[in-house]
Amino acid sequence: MLGIFSKTIDPALVQSAGYSGLDFIILDQEHGNVSNQNLENLIRAALLSNVLPIVRVPSHEPAHVGSALDMGARGVQIPNISTAQQAQTAVQSAKFFPIGSRGVCRFVPAALYGTMQKEDYFEKANESLVILQIEGEEGLSNIDEILTVKGIDIIFIGPYDLSQSLGLLGDIDNSKVQQTIRHITQKALSLGVKVGVFCDTLESCYSMKSIGIEYIAYSVDMHIFNDACKNIVLSINK
The pLDDT tens digits of the residues spanning 145-164 come to: 999 999 999 999 999 999 99
Share the mean pLDDT of the chain: 96
Euclidean distance between CA atoms 134 and 116, whole angstroms: 35
pTM to 2 decimal places? 0.95
- Give the confidence band of 19 by pLDDT, cuts at 50, 70, 90: very high
Domain containing 64 equals 2-236
Is the separation of the CB atoms in 199 and 219 below 8 Å? yes
How many structural domains does the chain have? 1
HSE-CB of 97 using CA atoms within 13 angstroms = 3
- Give the confidence band of 88 by pLDDT, cuts at 50, 70, 90: very high
We report the CATH number of the domain holding residue 90 as: 3.20.20.60
Rounded mean pLDDT of 86-94?
97
pLDDT at 49 over 90: yes
- Give the confidence band of 238 by pLDDT, cuts at 50, 70, 90: confident
Burial class (CB in 10 A: 0-12, 13-18, 19+), 196: buried
pLDDT at 52 over 90: yes
pLDDT at 93: 97
pLDDT at 21: 97
For residue range 8-17, list pLDDT tens digits in order. 999 999 999 9
pLDDT at 137: 87
